[in-house]
Amino acid sequence: MAIDYSKYLTDDQKKKIIEDRLSQFAAEAYQHSINAQVAQSLGNEEGVENAANALSILESAIDAHEAELKTIK
């Protein structure tokens, strides 16, 4: 069963939601970048790897949201 959210959200509301999420993702990416720097300076390879994994996930999320944003009129 798919929810028909289009009858509840205008295109402007959808754009705002996506733009807000993109800002949140960017803030998270910034934090993980700093975490990676700290981990690297401490020689914490696991921390560096965890930050890299988180950044990869965020990059995918950003790509998906940007693609969706392009489809909204």
pLDDT digits (tens, 9 = 90+) for 4-23: 988 899 999 999 999 999 99
Number of domains in the chain: 1
Is 36 inside a domain boundary?
yes
What per-residue confidence (pLDDT) applies to 73? Answer: 79
Q: HSE on the CB side for 51, CA within 13 Å?
A: 17
Cβ neighbours for 21, distance < 8 A, ≥ 6 positions apart = 61, 65
pLDDT, tens digit (0-9, with 9 covering 90-100), for 37-47: 999 999 999 99
Is 8 inside a domain boundary?
no
Number of H helices, E strands in the chain: 2, 0
Is 11 inside a domain boundary?
no
Is 4 inside a domain boundary?
no
Is 3 inside a domain boundary?
no
Is 58 inside a domain boundary?
yes
